[in-house]
Chain A
Amino acid sequence: MEKPRFDHSDLLLGLFLIAVALGSLFATRHLTFGTAADMGPGYMPRVIAAGIFGFGLYFTVKGLIAPAHRIEPVKLRPLIGILASVAIFALLVVKAGLALASLATIIVAGFASSETRPIENILFGTVLAAAGVMLFVKALSLPVPIWPW
């Protein structure tokens, strides 16, 4: 086991904030800054981004000098499972309709946990897809196709 160094949660947060600040400074580089009496569209974004940059530096330095502290290890299964279930909904809902998209989302989400029982999950997904269609399309009249055809 290598010895842990740095406070990882502070360090990661700091780097994240710095990245966001630099990204937004880059994205707003063409906007006029203006003066305090007559602010341009670039005034507030740059002031706030500078503030975020400052916090980013603070956390990065704090993370480097603080006693070692590791973040809990990331488990990929729940992370990928949930994100993939959302992605499949986004990909399917317009083309394949709400019913199939819902079922697919439930099935994919099931992979996020080792406790999932496959058959129960598919049955549950079917019931939920039907309930979702009834609730959102029939009762709340959400304008979304139900079936791919």
Chain B
Amino acid sequence: MELFDNLLLGFSTALQLNNLLYCLIGVFIGTAIGVLPGIGPIPTVALLLPFTYGLEPASSIILLAGIFYGAQYGGSTTAILVNVPGETSSVITCLDGHQMARQGKAGTALAIAAISSFFAGTVATVVIALLSVPLSVLALKFTAVEYFSLLVLGLFAAVILAHGSLMRALAMVLLGLLLGLIGIDVSSGAARMTFGIPELSDGLDFVPVAMGLFGLGEIIANLERPAEERSSIPQGVHGLMPRWADLKAAFPAMVRGTAIGSIMGVLPGGGAALPPFTAYAVEKKIARDPSRFGKGAIEGVASPEAANNAGAQTSFIPLLTLGIPANALMALMIGALMIQGIQPGPQIMHDQPALVWGVIASMWTGNLMLLIINLPLIGLWVAMLKIPYRLLFPAIALFCCIGTYGIANSTFNIWLMLGCAAVGYFFIKVRVEPAPLLLGLVLGPQLEENFRRAMLLADGDFTVFVSRPISAVLLGTVVVLLLALASPAVFRKRKEALVE
């Protein structure tokens, strides 16, 4: 019955009036940036981080979490109406969702997407609640040795399951780890790679790095593309109530998508981006008539939408139980916790039960709000889509500047963001995905600290990582993942899934 006590505690936090309000603000902002192509949840969360300083810890995480899963709802709206993914996770929804819209069934597609997301969100909330306790019990047994191995597993898994080239991603992780070392070394007090700049002695702030790499770099690359690829005006939307037959057709796909999303989200490296691809591939495989897909199949909307929402939520599990981020966005959440003076780690669930369970419960209230604000407010989101990019991009640039300055009132951070914007643009040019860099940057200091502590305890004996059972299992998983990736069959599958 511990589960009910926990959920009760969670709901008593989540249902406080101020937390309901922050949840609403979060999902509202999330939907808005989800609808707008060209601005994703990572820069938005980075931008809002400095302003969560004054909030209660639970409120700030509830707000920021709402942005993440809210963006999954908003992204599908744009995908269906304009055939442009509002978020990477809704790329796949374009295929059948937009076809449905073209056949005059935009309302049905939007409703099915929202209902699938809500269904998945509800199930995922339960999954998080069920898995959190056993995982956090396990986590309390961890010493520096296990923690180091866990971080290594997290980094590798994040890289393996991410998009794009494995070698590029590994190089980015190392680059992030290196940047994470900048600053005063905690054990010896020596300044490392600070180049005599006092602002660097506390280490690189990751907000300017995230905003430069993800926000501004993306804008520069977007502006290079011809305008036609970006804009298109949606028509009116009618018939938001789905027919019973549609719901019946979509329901099994919804369940399958939720299962796929929940499982893939929990894996380190999980999140909202990969599950919809897998879910879509599965639907196509088991369908009696696969040729319907790409021509407005309702399962092709329901399953990926359920999967991305479930994945977005269950990717919080590693963060809330073990204190390690599954993806770049969760890395920012760690930043949000540290701003609040909470050290993320295996003890977090034990020390901060109201925070952890409050955030979990808020995901369900947030999903309910999303269902309510999405469908009736569809007119507002369509209107937002009509904002031309020529106005949007200067506004994003300005808000990045103000937000970056706001973290520490330092103009140094703005210059740092400028440098990162140039590097981010370079990365896009040479086809590098910068997300692993951010993960490395955030985890770098923890990785080094635990490595040094483990080595000190083991007296410099590297075999300690394989002689202790939990650590050996964790590192063994890394090896299995790498071997699986090297096998030709999986390699082809992964390539297929990422190309589609």
- Interfacial residues, chain A to chain B (CB-CB below 8 A): 8-10, 12-13, 16-17, 20, 24, 27-28, 31-32, 35-45, 48-49, 51-52, 55-56, 58-59, 71-72, 74-75, 77-79, 81-83, 85-87, 89-90, 93-94, 98, 101-102, 105-106, 109-110, 112-113, 115-117, 120-121, 124-125, 128, 132, 136, 140, 142-144
* A55 and B460 form a contact (CB under 8 A): no
* B394 and A89 form a contact (CB under 8 A): no
Q: Count chain B CB atoms within 10 A of each CB in A41, A42, A51, A77 and give the residue with the most.
A: A41
CB distance from A37 to the nearest CB of B (A): 3
* Cβ of B500 under 8 Å from chain A: no
What residue in chain B is nearest A132 (Cβ atoms)? B402
Interface pick from B35-43, B63-71, B85-93, B175-183: B175-183
Known: A55-B171, A86-B417, A128-B395. 12 other contacts (CB 8 A): A36-B460, A37-B458, A41-B185, A41-B190, A41-B192, A75-B223, A85-B398, A89-B402, A93-B401, A105-B394, A125-B394, A140-B406
Q: Which of B414-453 contact A (CB under 8 A)?
A: 414-415, 417-418, 421-422, 425-426, 429-432, 448, 451-452
* Cβ of B174 under 8 Å from chain A: yes
Q: Select B193's contact among A28, A75, A78, A106, beta carbons within 8 Å.
A: A28
Chain A residues with CB under 8 A of B185 = 31, 41
Number of B interface residues, CB 8 Å? 62
Chain A residues with CB under 8 A of B219 = 78, 82, 112
Are A85 and B406 also in contact (CB < 8 A) when A55-B174, A90-B411 are?
no
* B402 and A113 form a contact (CB under 8 A): no
* A140 CA / B54 CA spacing, docked (Å): 9
* A87 CA / B452 CA spacing, docked (Å): 39
Q: Select B421's contact among A8, A77, A83, A106, beta carbons within 8 Å.
A: A83
* A81 CA / B224 CA spacing, docked (Å): 12
Q: Count chain A CB atoms within 10 A of each CB in B195, B390, B451, B456 and give the residue with the most.
A: B390
* A79 CA / B223 CA spacing, docked (Å): 9
* Cβ of B51 under 8 Å from chain A: yes
A-B contact pairs, 15 of them (CB 8 A): A8-B430, A10-B430, A17-B171, A31-B185, A31-B192, A37-B456, A52-B171, A59-B167, A71-B429, A75-B223, A78-B220, A89-B398, A110-B390, A136-B402, A142-B409
Taken residue by residue from 379 to 407, chain B's Cβ proximity to chain A (1 for < 8 Å, 0 otherwise) reads as: 00000000011110111011111100110
Chain A residues with CB under 8 A of B193 = 24, 27-28, 45
* Cβ of B237 under 8 Å from chain A: no
* A24 CA / B185 CA spacing, docked (Å): 15
What residue in chain B is nearest A88 (Cβ atoms)? B401
Q: Which of B455-492 contact A (CB under 8 A)?
A: 455-456, 458-460, 462
* A44 and B409 form a contact (CB under 8 A): no
* B397 and A82 form a contact (CB under 8 A): yes
Q: Which of B182-229 contact A (CB under 8 A)?
A: 185, 187-188, 190, 192-193, 195, 216, 219-221, 223-224, 227
Chain B residues with CB under 8 A of A59 = 167, 171
* Cβ of B494 under 8 Å from chain A: no
* A98 and B220 form a contact (CB under 8 A): no
What residue in chain B is nearest A95 (Cβ atoms)? B411
* A44 CA / B188 CA spacing, docked (Å): 13
* A90 and B456 form a contact (CB under 8 A): no
Q: Select A72's contact among B167, B391, B429, beta carbons within 8 Å.
A: B429
Are A45 and B223 also in contact (CB < 8 A) when A28-B192, A31-B192, A140-B51 are?
no
* A82 CA / B215 CA spacing, docked (Å): 11
Q: Select A89's contact among B170, B177, B223, B414, beta carbons within 8 Å.
A: B414
Q: Count chain A CB atoms within 10 A of each CB in B187, B393, B425 and give the residue with the most.
A: B393
